[in-house]
Structure 1
């Protein structure tokens, strides 16, 4: 009984951990694209704000929110 509960808890953590690992990958892609980005100043500010928001949400454990913000920044950058 205890073994099956432990296994269930372990398996429920794996997807969350895998999901959490994509946030830093997205942040790195944004960071790599920023220096050569040709956006209007307002759009560049928005991308940087979304990038910062994504990092803050990632650190707080809100990986879905982090990915949403980071993916919006990626879309604006065209990556």
Structure 2
């Protein structure tokens, strides 16, 4: 029983930590997109992924949000 309680408490505190990463990723994209050397197609793709990430974040799907936002950052890093 102690193990179950320990896991529950750990997850309760860990979930908000993961959720806070999404806004950081969005901010990083916002900072980089203005100075990145991108084609119009790449810029549109980055912005679409950023919008998908923000929508997923607002819906509470932080895994999908991080996936989309990290894809956008990967394009910016190319």
Task: Return the TM-score normalized by structure 2.
Answer: 0.86
Task: Return the TM-score normalized by structure 1.
Answer: 0.85
SS at match of 1:36: coil
Equivalences, count: 76
User: 2:76 maps to what in 1?
Assistant: 77
Deviation track 1:18-74 (CA, whole Å, cap 9, x = no partner) reads 000000001000000011111111111000000000000000000000000000000
Measured in 1, the distance between the counterparts of 2:7 and 2:73 equals 35
Match runs of 1:1-79 below 5 Å? 9-78=8-77
Q: Which sections of structure 2, spanning at least 5 residues, go unmatched? A: none
RMSD after superposition: 1.8
